[in-house]
Amino acid sequence: MERIIRSEAEWRAQLSPAEYAVLREAATEPPFSGEYVNTTTPGVYVCRACGAELFRSETKFDSHCGWPSFYAPQDTDAVELLPDHSHGMIRTEVRCRRCGSHLGHVFHGEGYPTPTDDRYCINSIALRLVPED
């Protein structure tokens, strides 16, 4: 996968202020406010910044946390996981491997009845759903 490199000025021109805040500055949209929290439409979720395929609807589940949750990425190379020690917490940040945009965080071992016991807690604004035909 070829990495996309853009200047911050180019990202600002491409993204809305809310998209830029989440994708480039690691902000978080308010819980239960995103367009994909309750979506059940079959399809592929792609990065809103670069269009890379990130998650499939088959791996989406209702975690009642306020953000879309997935138990696995589309492909292990689709995302990169980085330590995040912000806000006095120890978490694992999820970024798009293709463009480096912040997507959300992944949590493990919370006891959800999923094949991986992972919860990729992803901001709706970081995604775009491409419905299946």
Active site residues: 121
Residue 33's domain is classified under what CATH number? 2.170.150.20
Within a domain: 38: yes
Residue numbers of the domain that contains 37: 8-131
What are the pLDDT digits (tens) for 68-97?
A: 999 999 988 999 999 999 888 899 999 999
What are the pLDDT digits (tens) for 95-113?
A: 999 999 999 999 999 999 9
What are the pLDDT digits (tens) for 2-19?
A: 899 999 999 999 999 999
Model pTM score: 0.95
Structure tokens at 41: 């439409």
Within a domain: 56: yes
What Å distances lie between residue 26 and 21, 99, 112, 117, CA to CA?
6, 14, 25, 24
Number of structural domains (the chain) is: 1
Within a domain: 105: yes
